[in-house]
Amino acid sequence: MTELLKISLPDGSVREMPEGSTPADVAAEIGPGLAKAALAARVNGELRDMTRPFEGDAQLALVTSKDVDEALELARHDYAHVLAEAVQNLFPGTQITFGPATDDGFYYDFAPPAERGAFTEEDLPKIEEEMRRIIAADTPLEREVWTRTQLIQWFKDHGESFKAEWAAELPEGEELTIYRQGDWLDMCRGPHLASTGKLDPQAFKLTRVSGAYWRGDQKNAMLSRIYGTGWLNKKQLKEHLVRLEEAAKRDHRKLGREMDLFHLQEEAHGSVFWHPQGYRIWRQLESYMRRKMDGAGYREIKTPQVMDARQWEQSGHWGKYRENMFVIPDEVPNTEDEGELVSKDADWMALKPMNCPAHVLVFKQGITSYRELPIRLGEMGCCHRNEPHGALHGLMRVRQFTQDDAHIFCTEKQVVEEVRAFCKLADAVYKDFGFKYAIKLALRPEQRLGSDEDWDRAEQELRDAVRDAGMMNEEYGWEELPGEGAFYAPKLEWHLTDAIGRTWQVGTIQGDRVLPERLDASYIGEDGEKHRPVMLHRAIFGSYERFIGILIEHFAGRLPVWLAPTQAVVATIVSDADDYAKDAVGKLEAAGIRVDSDLRNEKINYKVREHSLAKVPHLLVVGKREAEEGTVAVRTLGEKDQKVMSLDEAVAMLREAATPPDLRD
């Protein structure tokens, strides 16, 4: 008699199924509606294919399109496989490499035949058509377990040299799986949907083609990467394409040119040339953040740009971060011991990629008593990181950047209160800019420094602080992220949501016990003995460059009046009003308004259009009548109607609008 398996469902019920049964069998027994809707299964917590048999008694939860995140990742992974099959069908001799799901779609890297050359965007419509044919064929996606030897041989036999190379590096004895859809297959861990027909043929779009090095190494072969976006249905795709269109309108690089804020060029690749208008925004943010830091008890410092490499070795950054550092000279001898300098006498220096070791050196000057703690050291610190050329992106990813950085040195007992206070400070800042946000806790990675005991304590302290701040709830999007902490500390992350629903990770605070130990920081406790402080690394903007980029895109260039580089322009209709316009500018400047005049002999509609493109919040139009009556016609950006008011009323209105939020009553 065959023994029945006990399959426990989320509602507490138990189904008895014969050996060899699959989640699809359970779904079919429950009902045809669920059998059709089920996309994948969680078996004992592991996401699996619907057709993979149970190995024994199990807990089962079925995944449907209502489980949006999981369903989207499954669909996007399937779209990637369909893309790869379509390309190889259309362009024989093309080799496949890797094709993962991404946040909004998928991509696949290909090695086209030498005679074919790289793929182009002209190829995409034909590939999309073939993908739809594959989806319509409703071919099952079947999981098979192979040995490493089988994998290597199959890929070699079929001319897949890149896959054969990768398979040869996989560990012996590990369970290796492939997924087959008809005659096509790829090495993959899965899971996948039951068949290609589970995808919506109208819910994907191929978006672009780019180059990508094999395994991300520029010494290797250049591949063709085809990107796509994939969704569960046509409506989701349409909404996404609208968001992309809106994002293109808000692109900070485009608006930066139109508003004359900054530029980038090859002579300083990865660094920003700030124009007067753009640097006005920077200065306003810097003044705002200084007021916030002064009010929260931070003391501002300034530390060197270049430091001895021995300092970075001692801190641990040399071994963990060397490839992203600019070293002087730029060639350092190799060593078998990772991170250890070959010559202790060598005069190697490095541009600082972060401020923390320098802040420890400031803290270590003199003897510190427990009575002086906490000590909060802040710096508008310029840092340099050797980011890959292809990763650079306008203001969002640069090689030279300035952080609103600070480090808090405190006792063990002070950690929770300091983190709680920071949560409240960050909350006030983000609300001043109108952002909603989520707080996430990034937990210990596999490769880390410090003891498990220290990590346990540090992670719990961050939880306790968020709870004490009243932010560990759905309103603040609380979430824990296993394995995503820094190598030396767990961290709280602030993820802002912008006007079109995108999220940006900006602020952070990290509870670090590693760096004070490595750099021998100490204070004198009540007992007269030396103790290690806890070091809290924290930032709110993250970097000024990136935060300004986010603000430009969030507000579509229409920055709040207090941040706008030019808050008002007085524009004349006729030259008879020039003297009155100059008087108006003088009154506005005396009130602290950043104002320009436009006395050009141009039609007023031309002036209005030009200053609207420059995103000037208020245009004060004056003609002969306004000069005689002491009035101005105020045109506010984004509003159809103008308002006529006295010059004094306009000055008062602009003074109120131009006051930073932290200085308002």
- Tokens 């995503």 appear where? 484
User: 630: alpha, beta or left, given left = phi > 0 and alpha = psi -120 to 50?
Assistant: left
**Residue 531: active-site member:** no
Q: How far apart are the C-alpha atoms of 392 and 349, rounded to whole Å?
A: 24
Q: How far apart are the C-alpha atoms of 441 and 419, rounded to whole Å?
A: 13
- For range 18-33, the mean pLDDT: 91
Q: Is the pLDDT of residue 65 over 50?
A: yes
Among 375, 421, 374, 378, residue whose Cα is nearest residue 402 = 378
Task: Give the neighbor-by-neighbor strand order of the sheet with 479-481.
Answer: 299-300, 375-384, 400-410, 534-539, 503-512, 491-497, 436-442, 479-481
Sign of CA dihedral 569, 575, 577, 579: positive
pTM of the full structure = 0.81
Beta-sheet pairing, 349-351 with 375-384: unpaired
- Model pLDDT, residue 566: 97
Q: Is residue 396 part of a domain?
A: no
- Model pLDDT, residue 346: 55
- For range 546-554, the mean pLDDT: 97
Number of H helices, E strands in the chain: 20, 32
**Residues linked to residue 208 through DSSP beta bridges, in sequence order:** 227
Q: Is residue 325 part of a domain?
A: no
Burial category of 552 from C-beta neighbours within 10 Å (exposed 0-12, middle 13-18, buried 19 and up): buried
* Same domain? 467 vs 532: yes
**Residue 495: active-site member:** no
Q: How many residues does the chain have?
A: 665
- For range 164-187, the mean pLDDT: 89
- For range 313-327, the mean pLDDT: 80
Q: Is residue 179 part of a domain?
A: yes
Q: Please write the tens of the pLDDT for every residue from 482-521.
A: 999 988 889 999 999 999 889 999 999 999 998 999 999 9
- Model pLDDT, residue 321: 75
* Same domain? 34 vs 133: no
Q: Is the pLDDT of residue 477 over 80?
A: yes
Q: Which is the catalytic residue, given 109, 123, 200, 405?
A: 405
Domain count across the chain: 4
Q: Which is the catalytic residue, given 356, 382, 410, 423?
A: 356
Q: How far apart are the C-alpha atoms of 516 and 532, rounded to whole Å?
A: 7
* Same domain? 523 vs 582: no
Identity at 267, one-letter amino acid code:
E
Q: Is residue 387 part of a domain?
A: no
Q: Which is the catalytic residue, given 444, 537, 607, 611?
A: 537
- DSSP assignment of 382-448 equals EEE----GGG-BTTTB-SEEEEEEEEEEE-GGGHHHHHHHHHHHHHHHHHHTT-EEEEEEE---SS-
- Model pLDDT, residue 339: 47
Sign of CA dihedral 382, 384, 387, 389: positive
- Model pLDDT, residue 469: 95
Between the alpha carbon of residue 374 and those of residues 302, 377, 639, the distances in Å are: 19, 10, 49
Q: Is the pLDDT of residue 345 over 70?
A: no
Q: Is residue 312 part of a domain?
A: no
- Model pLDDT, residue 388: 83
- Model pLDDT, residue 343: 46
**Residue 356: active-site member:** yes
Q: Which of 29, 64, 99 is the last residue of a domain?
A: 64
- For range 102-124, the mean pLDDT: 93
Q: How far apart are the C-alpha atoms of 386 and 545, rounded to whole Å?
A: 16
CATH number, domain of 184, equals 3.30.980.10
- 365, two tokens: 């000057």
Instruction: Characterize 366-405 residue by residue with b for buried, 16 or more Cβ atoms within 10 angstroms of its Cβ, and e for exposed.
Output: eebebeebbbbbbbbbbbbbbeeeeeeebbbbbbbbbbbb
Q: Please write the tens of the pLDDT for every residue from 360-380.
A: 999 999 999 999 999 999 999
* Same domain? 208 vs 230: yes
Q: Can you give the residue range of the structural domain that contains 493? A: 275-303+354-381+406-554
Q: Is the pLDDT of residue 590 over 80?
A: yes
Q: Please write the tens of the pLDDT for every residue from 431-474.
A: 999 999 999 999 999 888 888 998 999 999 999 999 999 999 88
Q: Is residue 214 part of a domain?
A: yes
* Same domain? 633 vs 597: yes
Q: Is the pLDDT of residue 232 over 80?
A: yes
- For range 417-435, the mean pLDDT: 96
Element holding 274 (H helix, E strand)? strand 273-274
* Same domain? 242 vs 125: yes
Q: How confident is the model at residue 127 (pLDDT cuts 50, 70, 90)?
A: very high
Q: Which is the catalytic residue, given 81, 352, 385, 440?
A: 385
Q: How far apart are the C-alpha atoms of 42 and 664, rounded to whole Å?
A: 53
- Model pLDDT, residue 331: 56
Q: Which of 34, 64, 94 is the last residue of a domain?
A: 64
Identity at 557, one-letter amino acid code:
G
* Same domain? 458 vs 410: yes
- For range 404-424, the mean pLDDT: 97
- Model pLDDT, residue 218: 80
- Model pLDDT, residue 317: 78
**Residue 491: active-site member:** yes
Contact 7, 57 (CB under 8 A): yes
- Tokens 């500018």 appear where? 585
- For range 231-258, the mean pLDDT: 94
CATH number, domain of 25, equals 3.10.20.30
Q: Is residue 119 part of a domain?
A: yes
Q: Is the pLDDT of residue 338 over 50?
A: no
Contact 88, 112 (CB under 8 A): no
Identity at 55, one-letter amino acid code:
E
Q: Which is the catalytic residue, given 403, 414, 510, 567?
A: 403
Q: How confident is the model at residue 325 (pLDDT cuts 50, 70, 90)?
A: confident
* Same domain? 119 vs 39: no
Contact 437, 496 (CB under 8 A): yes
* Same domain? 149 vs 280: no
Please provide residue 362's backbone torsions phi and psi, each rounded to the nearest 5 degrees.
Answer: -65, -45
**Residues linked to residue 220 through DSSP beta bridges, in sequence order:** none
Q: Is residue 95 part of a domain?
A: yes
* Same domain? 145 vs 166: yes
Please provide residue 384's backbone torsions phi and psi, each rounded to the nearest 5 degrees.
Answer: -130, 130
* Same domain? 141 vs 170: yes
Q: Which is the catalytic residue, given 205, 322, 399, 407?
A: 407
Q: How far apart are the C-alpha atoms of 44 and 381, rounded to whole Å?
A: 48
Q: Which of 43, 64, 85 is the last residue of a domain?
A: 64
The average confidence (pLDDT) of the chain is: 92
Q: Is the pLDDT of residue 207 over 60?
A: yes
Q: How confident is the model at residue 2 (pLDDT cuts 50, 70, 90)?
A: low
**Residue 527: active-site member:** no
- For range 525-553, the mean pLDDT: 96
* Same domain? 22 vs 104: no
- Model pLDDT, residue 334: 53
CATH number, domain of 507, equals 3.30.930.10
Question: First CA to last CA across the chain, in angstroms?
Answer: 81
- For range 623-652, the mean pLDDT: 94
Task: Give the neighbor-by-neighbor strand order of the sheet with 40-43.
Answer: 14-18, 4-8, 58-63, 40-43, 46-48
Between the alpha carbon of residue 407 and those of residues 315, 336, 457, 619, the distances in Å are: 15, 33, 19, 43
